[in-house]
Chains A and B, each alone.
Chain A
Amino acid sequence: MRRSILAAAVIAASAAAQEPPPEGLSGVISGQGFTKIKIAIPEPAADALSREAAREIAQTVRDDLDFSGYFEIVDPSLYPLTATSPEATPAAAWASVGAAGVALGNVSMNGGKVDLRAKLLNTAAPGTALFDRRYGGPSDLVRRVAHQLADDIVQQLTGQPGIASTWIAFVGKHGKGKEIYMMDYDGRRVRRITTTASINLMPTWSPVAQRLAFMSWRTGPPSIDVLDADGKVNRATTAGGTMNISPDWSPDGKKIVYASNAAGNAEIFMLDLASKRSTRLTSSPAIDTSPTFSPNGREIAFTSDRAGPPQIYVMDAEGLNVRRLTTDGNYADAAAWSPKGDKIAYASRVEGRFDVVVLDVPTGATTRLTHGEGNNENPRWSPDGRHIVFASSRTGGYDLYTMRADGTDVRRLTRGGDAQTPDWSHRLP
Chain B
Amino acid sequence: MKMSRVTALAIVAALTLAASGCKKKAPETVPQTTASPTPIEESKPADTAPTAAEPFPPQNVQTTPVEQSIDDLNRAGVLKTIYFAYDSNDIDQAATAILQGNATWLKGHAKYNVEVGGHCDERGSIGYNVALGDRRANAVKSYLVSLGADGSKLVAVSYGEEKPADPGHEEAAFAKNRRAEFTIKP
Chain A residues close to B by CB (< 8 Å)? 178, 199, 201-202, 215, 217, 220-222, 242-243, 245-246, 259, 261, 264-266, 287, 289-290, 303, 305, 309-310, 331, 333-334, 347, 349, 352, 354, 377-378, 420-421
Chain B residues close to A by CB (< 8 Å)? 87, 115, 123-128, 130-132, 134-135, 138, 155-160, 162-163
Known contacts being A199-B162, A243-B158, is A421 close to B126, with CB within 8 Å? Answer: yes
Please tell me if the beta carbons of B131 and A289 are within 8 angstroms of each other in the complex.
Answer: yes
**Nearest chain A CB to B129 CB, angstrom units:** 9
Please tell me if the beta carbons of A310 and B128 are within 8 angstroms of each other in the complex.
Answer: yes
**Nearest chain B CB to A386 CB, angstrom units:** 25
**Nearest chain B CB to A322 CB, angstrom units:** 17
**Nearest chain A CB to B113 CB, angstrom units:** 11
Q: Which residues of A contact B134 (CB under 8 A)?
A: 242-243, 261, 265-266
Known contacts being A377-B125, A377-B126, is A201 close to B162, with CB within 8 Å? Answer: yes
Please tell me if the beta carbons of B138 and A303 are within 8 angstroms of each other in the complex.
Answer: no
Closest-by-CB residue of A relative to B130 is: A245
Closest-by-CB residue of A relative to B137 is: A242
Q: Which residues of B contact A310 (CB under 8 A)?
A: 124-125, 128
Q: Which residues of B contact A354 (CB under 8 A)?
A: 125
- A333: contacting residue among B115, B127, B155, CB under 8 A: B127
Please tell me if the beta carbons of B159 and A199 are within 8 angstroms of each other in the complex.
Answer: yes
Q: State the 3 A-B residue pairs at the shortest beta-carbon distance, nearest first.
A: A333-B125, A266-B131, A290-B127
Please tell me if the beta carbons of A420 and B126 are within 8 angstroms of each other in the complex.
Answer: yes
Q: Chain A CB within 10 Å — which of B125, B132, B155, B158 has the most?
A: B125
Complex Cα distance, B140 from A143, in Å, reads: 52
Q: Which residues of A contact B156 (CB under 8 A)?
A: 242
Please tell me if the beta carbons of A246 and B125 are within 8 angstroms of each other in the complex.
Answer: no
Complex Cα distance, B115 from A331, in Å, reads: 30
Please tell me if the beta carbons of B131 and A259 are within 8 angstroms of each other in the complex.
Answer: yes
Q: Which residues of A contact B160 (CB under 8 A)?
A: 201
Please tell me if the beta carbons of A245 and B127 are within 8 angstroms of each other in the complex.
Answer: yes
Complex Cα distance, B115 from A242, in Å, reads: 11
Please tell me if the beta carbons of A287 and B135 are within 8 angstroms of each other in the complex.
Answer: yes
16 chain-A/chain-B pairs, Cβ below 8 angstroms: A178-B162, A202-B126, A217-B162, A220-B115, A221-B155, A222-B130, A242-B156, A243-B131, A264-B138, A287-B131, A287-B132, A289-B127, A290-B127, A305-B128, A347-B125, A377-B126
**Nearest chain B CB to A153 CB, angstrom units:** 37
Please tell me if the beta carbons of B162 and A303 are within 8 angstroms of each other in the complex.
Answer: no
Please tell me if the beta carbons of B127 and A246 are within 8 angstroms of each other in the complex.
Answer: yes
Q: Which residues of B contact A287 (CB under 8 A)?
A: 128, 131-132, 135
Q: List 8 additional contacts besides A178-B162, A347-B125; criterion CB under 8 Å.
A: A221-B155, A222-B130, A242-B155, A246-B127, A261-B138, A287-B128, A309-B87, A310-B128
Q: Which residues of A contact B127 (CB under 8 A)?
A: 202, 245-246, 289-290, 303, 333-334
Complex Cα distance, B162 from A178, in Å, reads: 9
Complex Cα distance, B163 from A261, in Å, reads: 20
Q: Which residues of B contact A421 (CB under 8 A)?
A: 126
**Nearest chain B CB to A354 CB, angstrom units:** 7
**Nearest chain B CB to A182 CB, angstrom units:** 18
Known contacts being A199-B159, A217-B159, is A352 close to B123, with CB within 8 Å? Answer: yes
Complex Cα distance, B124 from A309, in Å, reads: 10
Q: Which residues of A contact B135 (CB under 8 A)?
A: 265-266, 287
Please tell me if the beta carbons of A378 and B126 are within 8 angstroms of each other in the complex.
Answer: yes
Closest-by-CB residue of B relative to A243 is: B134
Q: Which residues of B contact A246 (CB under 8 A)?
A: 127, 130
Known contacts being A246-B130, A309-B87, is A331 close to B125, with CB within 8 Å? Answer: yes
Q: Which residues of B contact A334 (CB under 8 A)?
A: 125, 127
- A201: contacting residue among B126, B131, B138, B157, CB under 8 A: B126
Q: Which residues of A contact B126 (CB under 8 A)?
A: 201-202, 377-378, 420-421
Q: Chain A CB within 10 Å — which of B124, B128, B138, B159 has the most?
A: B128
Complex Cα distance, B109 from A300, in Å, reads: 46
**Nearest chain B CB to A229 CB, angstrom units:** 26
Known contacts being A199-B162, A217-B159, A265-B135, is A243 close to B130, with CB within 8 Å? Answer: yes
- A331: contacting residue among B124, B138, B155, B162, CB under 8 A: B124
Complex Cα distance, B144 from A207, in Å, reads: 44
Closest-by-CB residue of B relative to A198 is: B162
Complex Cα distance, B166 from A268, in Å, reads: 32
Closest-by-CB residue of A relative to B125 is: A333
Please tell me if the beta carbons of A242 and B157 are within 8 angstroms of each other in the complex.
Answer: yes
Complex Cα distance, B159 from A331, in Å, reads: 20
Q: Which residues of B contact A245 (CB under 8 A)?
A: 127, 130-131
**Nearest chain B CB to A419 CB, angstrom units:** 12
Complex Cα distance, B159 from A178, in Å, reads: 12
Q: Which residues of B contact A331 (CB under 8 A)?
A: 124-125
Complex Cα distance, B120 from A331, in Å, reads: 15
**Nearest chain A CB to B23 CB, angstrom units:** 32
Complex Cα distance, B156 from A243, in Å, reads: 9
Complex Cα distance, B137 from A72, in Å, reads: 55
